[in-house]
Amino acid sequence: METARPEAGLDGGACPVTRLVDVIGGRWKVPILWQLSTGTHRYGALRRAIGGISERMLVQQLRALEADGLVARTQYPEVPPRVEYALTERGCSLVPLLQGLAEWSATHLTAGAER
């Protein structure tokens, strides 16, 4: 069964989703965004919530998400230092997409689901 093909990308033919995958693709960015979709997290709490991610990788991925305008980092002038991460307005605009992907996954990728 053939489905309707989405309109061509803004550049005249490339898939319009490619840039999104460049920004949120990889093993850790979606889990980070998913955790931050529940609210502001301190670094340690975020690392524990994700599980299995190294400190170096978490820092690298947070920096990339911050550079792309999806995550905001707030450092407080305290001793010991306190750093919090939250989704920006742009990052929050991804939450419905993440929820849709979660629903699709629950429907189509569960054990015993038809292919």
The pLDDT tens digits of the residues spanning 23-52 come to: 999 899 999 999 999 999 999 999 999 999
Banded model confidence at residue 2, pLDDT cuts 50, 70, 90: very low
More confident residue, 81 or 36: 36
Is residue 81 a contact partner of residue 99, using CB atoms and an 8 Å limit? no
What's the whole-number mean pLDDT along residues 53-61?
96
For the domain made up of 19-102, the CATH class stated in words is mainly alpha
- DSSP characters over 13-27: SS-TTHHHHHHH-SS
Tell me what pLDDT residue 16 has.
84
**Biggest CA-to-CA distance, the chain:** 61
Q: Which of 59, 29, 24, 25 is nearest to 44 (CA)?
A: 59
Query: What is the pTM for the complete model shown?
Result: 0.81
Summarize the confidence of residues 66-81 as an average pLDDT.
Answer: 94
91-112 per-position pLDDT tens digit: 999 999 999 999 999 999 876 6
Kindly state the tokens that stand for 44.
């340690």
| pLDDT for residue 66 is more than 80 | yes
8 A C-beta contact, residue 50 and residue 38: no
